[in-house]
Structure 1
Amino acid sequence: MIEKLLALVPAEFSPLTPKLFAAILAQALCQALAYLLLVPVLEALFGDDLPRAWFWALLMLLAVGAVAVSGYLQTIFGLRIAVGMQRGLQTRIGDHLNALPLGWFETHSAGTLSRLTVENVREIQQALAYLMAKVLNSVVVPLGVAVGMLFVDWRISLAMLLSAPVLLSVNNLAARSYAAADARAHTAAAEADARVVEFAQAQPVLRSLGAVGAGNRALDSALAEQKSASTRVLFASVPGLMVFSLCVQAVFLVLAYIVVNRVTGGSISVPAAIALIAVSARFIEPLNLAAQLGNGLRGAAAAVDRLTELLNEPTLPEATEPVTPGVPGVEFDEVGFSYRTGEQVLSGLTFSVAPGTTTAVVGPSGAGKTTLLRLAARFHDVDSGRVTVAGHDVRDQPSETLLNQVSPVFQNVYLFNRSVAENIRIGRLDATDEEVRRAAEAARVDEIAQRLPEGYDSVVGEGGSLLSGGERQRVSIARALLKDAPIVLLDEATSALDPHSEASVVRGIHELTRGKTVMVVAHRPATIAHADQILFLDGGRIVERGTHAELLKLGGRYADFWNERSRAGGWRLEQTVG
């Protein structure tokens, strides 16, 4: 655990870790020495040898002073490392998350990530600043006392040393039970966190459908499971603590028996026996403290394992050699891809998008249409074949170079809980206010800003909750317009919008795609009909390709798809006479 913990310490604070351990070791050894010096002090006092008593008492005071100084240094070093770790570790987690494939996030909830970056980091901080020093002290002090006791009475020393592996075995048995219960508690807590966030965000939907009770049931179930898991942690830890405490007290009774037996046999003096019983008590006390702190340290160890597992998740390899982008085209060459082993999403896909043209991708749900766009932006790496953007394999381009070439606009738009202007500026952080306004006007975001109380400075709420779906889509188009990349990857999302919103979004899309190379997952018949090339995708393969006129003349899958879309576009409600 210590090795993994130290691996999480930021590089600039690593030089402090040897000093921290040196201070912990010095404090523990000086504390053990102070306990042992009690024997000659009491022997000298009861023997009326005051000069000798003062000599040993002075040494004891020096040992106690060394304990205070080393304890102070240990606290300072531990706090400096822990405080530095919070920012450094959270930054490292953020950087690592940015480098993970998008597919990783589909199987990990926001609640889990929240606990990792907040609760688990706090547990690790506490372990460094407090727990680790206390637990190591609780181990080194008894060991130091046991070794030092060799110079007083080897029998007592042997009893102390033999008790160590017994107590360690009992502690390990308790640790196994606790670790399993703690893992379940972490999972339940992460699920509860996710359900709380979901419940808060879903209030408009739940209330509009009169399903508040159903939403509560999901939340109540998660909270009940968290309570149950926490209870299991308690029941898993308490028996272990009780058994360990009983064993520690048994060891003390054995040590006391040996001391009394040595006194009655005349081997040691009564003053020495009093001191030895006191030292035995000091030998036992840290062991009890270790048991009490053990669960906290085991919890921190579990947090270390979880964070280490996260940071070991494989990232997308980053190209280091700079490349010069060529003409803004896109090519797929025998591309195969799957999100999970054995579940092929795309197979043997080959096509090209010429610069300045529009390629529309159509097909049934689950055919792999959106996956095409994500692969072009390198949200994932292909399993086989290659994807080329602007004349270079996406894997051979530094991320900044590739992302400067593409503007992805997907269906699921996420807006930050900031102002309208700030959400648009994310498209290009160095953009001027005037450039932000021009992009907003082109995407018809100015209409949204006019009705908001603070205009472009109005905060849009978490996830853009204060805006409608069409309004959020317009803000995302404004982002892409501001970025002004030569290649647009568009997952067109107008089918669920009202006519006014759809018209505004379509005008923004026309402005965004003017003169650009476009790959669009098409839903609107007008977009499909005007594409330079149409790919009909099904089962991860291109089953038909051509222009709109060519595919209609073919009378195959696309023609059926087009006819269905045309019929659906003309549906209306009719009054029935009963």
Structure 2
Amino acid sequence: MIRTLLRVLGQQYAGPMRRTIALMTATAVVEGLLYALLVPVLRALFGGSPADARPWLVAFGAGVAAYAVLRYFSDLSGMRVGTTMLRGMYHRLGDHLARLPIGWYDAARVGEVSVMAGRGLLQAMGVAAHLLAPFIAALITPLTIVAVMLAFDLRMGLAALAAAPVVALTGVWTARAMAATDAERHERDHQAGARVIEYLQAQPILRAGGRTAERFGLLDDALRQVQRASRRTTLAALPGAIGLTLTVQAMFTALLVLGTHLALGGGIGAAEVLTILVLAARCADPLLSLADIGGRLRGARAEIDRLDAVLRTEPLPQPAEPREPRGHGLEFDAVTFRHGDRTVLSGLSLSVPEGRRVAIVGPSGAGKSTLLQLVARFYDVDEGAVRVGGADVRAIGTETLMSRIAVVFQDVYLFAGTIEENIRLGRPDATDAEVRAAATAARLDEVVERLPGGRHADVGEGGALLSGGERQRVSIARALLKDAPIVLLDEVTSALDPINEAAVHQGIERLMAGRTVVMVAHRLRTVQRADHIAFLEGGHIVEQGSHDTLLHQGGRYTDFWTASARE
């Protein structure tokens, strides 16, 4: 687990973590060596001259002081590494997630990453801050005490050492027995959490249909599965915990019997037997704590392994020698793109000259939105190439590519914060005057005027405090402020009422002016104003040309236009 943790931390935090582990190990060794001083102390106290114990007691006190200092700094180092690691891991995970292909984010992954970013990272930090020190002490301190016992009396030391492989085998056996139940418990917890979220999100539909009792049944089933998995986890852990306790107690009993036998035979004195038993008792305490610490470490290790799996997922490759686009024209050259087992686009070619507007129309599932995502390099093509300014998007640095592209999606997500903060995402260094100008151009000023707080009004998580049309206007203002030469529009007015649609269209017209535009649309007003129209069906462009040319052909576009005119 330590190796996995160090790999997850990366080079920046691996060094401090190694130093912390070394300091914790030294602390555990010093704690074990302290008990070696009990041997001369007890010999003097039970011997003929108790006063001889005084210098050893002084030495013991000095050792305790040294141990206290080491313990303080090792615990402090663990806390510092843990908190610094948590902050750094949030940044590292966020940076890595931002470079993964969009296709990686299915519904299950989003929920898993949400849990990982919360509980997972906190457990990883807890290993450094709270679990490493007692775990290392539970292993190193008993081994140090056994070494002291070996130096003091070989027979008693060997008897104590014989228990080490039994304790190790018990721990390994318990971990293996727990592995399957831990995985099941995690899966059941995930399913129950999904059911709770589903139940909450579906309240309007369930109440309208009068089916809340049925949904309660599904949720209860998931919770019963969690209860059964928890019971199996407990039962799987019980033999290991009992086995470890019995092993430690048997070791202590064996040492007691051996010590009594040696004392009665004259091979060792009573003071020495008492010393051995004290040392054995000090071995037993940390060993007995291994069961509890091991369970907590297994839970942390599962989260660290999942975090490691995400961080080892290959991101979209970055070019070794990035190219600079020459101009702002777009080209799809024999593009084939597959999503899983499905071929979304097959051998598609399309050219979008600089400063021109191209509309992509067609039935649902034809691959229209995928074209926009390939331009923004949310995915990489399987065959062919997508070029911006004559350069393959795979050969352009991510920051350079995204600086040239503004995207307005159909479903707008706004971050919790103010309207102005969300607009400034387009260009954080923009002046107040530029932000106001973008808001006015997007027809957002009339929304701002009626909201308490104006531009500083809170939009809520995901923009929940604004309507769909208002969120679209914020998105357009953001794109206007960015002032990118290439604009990608994805069905931005498909779900708006007529008033909001008219306002959003005015903002879109300002946004498209003088720019290279690719728009996915089916509204007549948007499509008719395009310079070129491509009808996409089954991953192929089946028709393309101007609006009038396609209407005269009487093909698939004509059917689309006729159907749209009836809406």
TM range (shorter): over 0.9
* 1:3 paired to 2:3: yes
Q: Which residue of 2 aligns with 1:558?
A: 557
Whether the 8 Å CA contact 2:135–2:290 is kept in 1: the answer is yes
Backbone CA RMSD of aligned residues: 2.6
**Cα deviation, residue 559, structure 1:** 2.6
- Larger deviation, residues 160-169 vs 190-199: 190-199
Once the two structures are superposed, residues 331-383 of structure 1 have per-residue CA deviations (whole angstroms, 9 ceiling, x without a partner) of: 0112121232x322212111111112121112221111101000001111111
- Structure 1 distance, partners of 2:222, 2:445, is 42
- Structure 2 distance, partners of 1:437, 1:132, is 53
Q: Secondary structure at the match of 1:463?
A: coil
Q: How does 1:96-175 map to 2 (within 5 A)?
A: 96-175=96-175
Once the two structures are superposed, residues 25-76 of structure 1 have per-residue CA deviations (whole angstroms, 9 ceiling, x without a partner) of: 2222222222233233323322213354334434433433332222122112
Whether the 8 Å CA contact 2:163–2:247 is kept in 1: the answer is no
- Structure 2 distance, partners of 1:24, 1:238, is 29
**Cα deviation, residue 217, structure 1:** 6.4
Q: Which residue of 2 aligns with 1:27?
A: 27
- Structure 2 distance, partners of 1:429, 1:210, is 48
Q: Which residue of 1 aligns with 2:482?
A: 483
Q: Secondary structure at the match of 2:41?
A: helix
- Larger deviation, residues 160-169 vs 367-376: 160-169
Cα 1:459–1:210 change in 2 (3 A) is farther
- Structure 2 distance, partners of 1:267, 1:230, is 52
Q: Which amino acid aligns with 2:141?
A: V
- Larger deviation, residues 32-41 vs 88-97: 32-41
Cα 1:324–1:505 change in 2 (3 A) is same
Cα 1:322–1:554 change in 2 (3 A) is same
- Structure 2 distance, partners of 1:523, 1:225, is 46
- Structure 1 distance, partners of 2:132, 2:61, is 26
Whether the 8 Å CA contact 1:256–1:280 is kept in 2: the answer is no
- Larger deviation, residues 193-202 vs 427-436: 193-202
- Structure 2 distance, partners of 1:565, 1:278, is 89
Q: How does 1:433-472 map to 2 (within 5 A)?
A: 433-472=432-471
**Cα deviation, residue 169, structure 1:** 1.3
* 1:426 paired to 2:419: no
Q: Which residue of 1 aligns with 2:268?
A: 268
- Structure 2 distance, partners of 1:437, 1:228, is 58
Q: Secondary structure at the match of 2:535?
A: strand
Cα 1:249–1:76 change in 2 (3 A) is same
Q: Which amino acid aligns with 2:432?
A: D
- Structure 2 distance, partners of 1:37, 1:265, is 26
Once the two structures are superposed, residues 425-464 of structure 1 have per-residue CA deviations (whole angstroms, 9 ceiling, x without a partner) of: 2111112222222222222212222222222221122111
Q: Which residue of 2 aligns with 1:368?
A: 367
Q: Which residue of 1 aligns with 2:76?
A: 76
Whether the 8 Å CA contact 1:326–1:391 is kept in 2: the answer is yes
Q: How does 1:487-506 map to 2 (within 5 A)?
A: 487-506=486-505
Once the two structures are superposed, residues 491-542 of structure 1 have per-residue CA deviations (whole angstroms, 9 ceiling, x without a partner) of: 1232322221222222222221122211111111232233222222222222
TM-score by length of structure 2 reads 0.92
Q: Secondary structure at the match of 1:314?
A: coil
**Cα deviation, residue 221, structure 1:** 5.9
Whether the 8 Å CA contact 1:319–1:399 is kept in 2: the answer is no
- Larger deviation, residues 87-96 vs 150-159: 150-159
- Structure 1 distance, partners of 2:490, 2:68, is 65
**Cα deviation, residue 560, structure 1:** 2.5
Cα 1:365–1:448 change in 2 (3 A) is same
- Structure 2 distance, partners of 1:213, 1:330, is 54
- Structure 1 distance, partners of 2:535, 2:24, is 68
Q: Which residue of 1 aligns with 2:524?
A: 525
Q: Which residue of 1 aligns with 2:544?
A: 545
Whether the 8 Å CA contact 1:248–1:287 is kept in 2: the answer is yes
Q: Which residue of 1 aligns with 2:509?
A: 510
Whether the 8 Å CA contact 1:29–1:141 is kept in 2: the answer is yes
- Structure 2 distance, partners of 1:214, 1:432, is 55
Q: How does 1:178-577 map to 2 (within 5 A)?
A: 178-190=178-190, 226=226, 229-319=229-319, 321=321, 323-340=323-340, 342-567=341-566, 569=567
Mind listing any 5+ residue stretches in structure 2 that lack a counterpart? none
Q: Which amino acid aligns with 1:23?
A: L
- Structure 2 distance, partners of 1:89, 1:490, is 34
Whether the 8 Å CA contact 1:79–1:129 is kept in 2: the answer is yes
Cα 1:196–1:239 change in 2 (3 A) is same
- Structure 2 distance, partners of 1:301, 1:22, is 20
- Structure 2 distance, partners of 1:354, 1:206, is 50
**Cα deviation, residue 235, structure 1:** 3.8
- Larger deviation, residues 93-102 vs 149-158: 149-158
- Structure 2 distance, partners of 1:112, 1:338, is 24
Q: Which residue of 1 aligns with 2:177?
A: 177
- Structure 1 distance, partners of 2:489, 2:481, is 15
- Structure 1 distance, partners of 2:470, 2:210, is 26
**Cα deviation, residue 198, structure 1:** 6.3
Cα 1:223–1:473 change in 2 (3 A) is farther
- Structure 2 distance, partners of 1:468, 1:456, is 16
Q: Which residue of 2 aligns with 1:572?
A: none
Once the two structures are superposed, residues 250-294 of structure 1 have per-residue CA deviations (whole angstroms, 9 ceiling, x without a partner) of: 222222222222222221112211221221111222110122211
Q: Which amino acid aligns with 1:261?
A: H
- Larger deviation, residues 209-218 vs 471-480: 209-218
**Cα deviation, residue 185, structure 1:** 3.6
Q: Which amino acid aligns with 2:544?
A: R
Q: Secondary structure at the match of 1:476?
A: helix
Q: Which amino acid aligns with 1:460?
A: V
- Structure 2 distance, partners of 1:378, 1:301, is 34
Q: Secondary structure at the match of 1:361?
A: strand
Mind listing any 5+ residue stretches in structure 1 that lack a counterpart? 570-578
- Structure 1 distance, partners of 2:310, 2:443, is 41
TM-score by length of structure 1 reads 0.91
- Structure 2 distance, partners of 1:240, 1:358, is 69
Q: Secondary structure at the match of 2:75?
A: helix
- Structure 2 distance, partners of 1:298, 1:389, is 49
**Cα deviation, residue 143, structure 1:** 1.2
Q: Which amino acid aligns with 2:501?
A: E
Whether the 8 Å CA contact 2:336–2:343 is kept in 1: the answer is yes
- Structure 1 distance, partners of 2:96, 2:477, is 28
Q: Which residue of 2 aligns with 1:574?
A: none
- Larger deviation, residues 7-16 vs 206-215: 206-215
**Cα deviation, residue 97, structure 1:** 1.4
- Larger deviation, residues 47-56 vs 531-540: 47-56
